[in-house]
Amino acid sequence: MHKHFSGKTVVITGGAGGLAAALIEQLLATGANIAALDLHIEGLLANKQLLPLQVDITDNSALSAAVTQVIETFGAIDVLINNAGITHMSTFEQLGAQTFNTIMAVNFTASVELTRMCLPYLLKTKGQIVAISSVAGYAPLYGRSAYSASKHAMEGFFLSLESELSDVSVTVVCPSFVKSRPELTAQVNSGISSPGAMKKQTNGEQIAPNIAAEKILKATAKKQRKLYLGKVAKIAYWLNALVPSIYLKLMTKSAKQEFT
């Protein structure tokens, strides 16, 4: 893994989040150069290897300027990690149109537009794209209609893009629950929140960010097409694929506990 990333330039969105912090720490140890994009970058200290960029990723002009700055600073883009994401806890009946659209814009549209801007440079380096999806990207999830829609769209886009590319590899990562924001508590019917915020009911193991980051980087180094991160992610995949009615019953029963 260290040899794979050494000297390469990695662009990561959601760069100030808990998972990103773990990814950045491990990437810096490999000798990689990192451009970390986020709306709030106060916790990121610039150095020779790390370029924090304050960017609203839903603003295409700001994204384009950020990509230009990455090239001016490091000269190339080898890996793009689409990590930024937000979620919600509300039924569709309680979900406002603006919240739905914001979740789609951050989770899906921004990743598409940044990929579009980075692709010419990734083609030059025969680089890699990593998309951080979710269990919600391939299976239903009660009370997360917008989040699930954004992650389904993300998976569909990146796996389809992969079929068009011969020189750029794509890795789609599907975690269950990464404990990236333990200081936050997810609220029901209260707008958007971090996917890593703690919930009343979290099924299975809570993956530590450093462990998640290590597995993601190993999968990336191996150019693994998909990574089901955590036991819950693997179980959910097979249950939904083989006995979807049982998956739906178990998932709905568990998820509804968060709303009581």
Catalytic site positions? 147
| CA 139 from centre of chain | 16
- The CA-based angle 246-86-5, given to 5 degrees, is 95
- Which residues share a beta bridge with 87? 193
- Cα R_g (the chain), whole angstroms: 18
Strands in the chain per DSSP E: 9-13, 33-38, 50-54, 79-82, 87-88, 128-132, 169-175, 181-185, 192-193, 197-198, 226-229
Closest residue by Cα to residue 114 from 84, 159, 147: 84
Alpha carbons 21 and 34: distance in angstroms, whole number: 11
Contacts of 105 (CB under 8 A, 6+ apart): 58
Tell me which residue of 79, 6, 2, 7 sits closest to 36, measured CA to CA: 79
* Residue 256 neighbours by CB distance under 10 Å: 13
34 DSSP β-pair partners = 10, 50
Which conformational region is residue 223 in: left (phi greater than 0), alpha (psi within -120 to 50 degrees), or beta?
A: left
Residues 230 and 27: their CA atoms lie apart, in Å, by 21
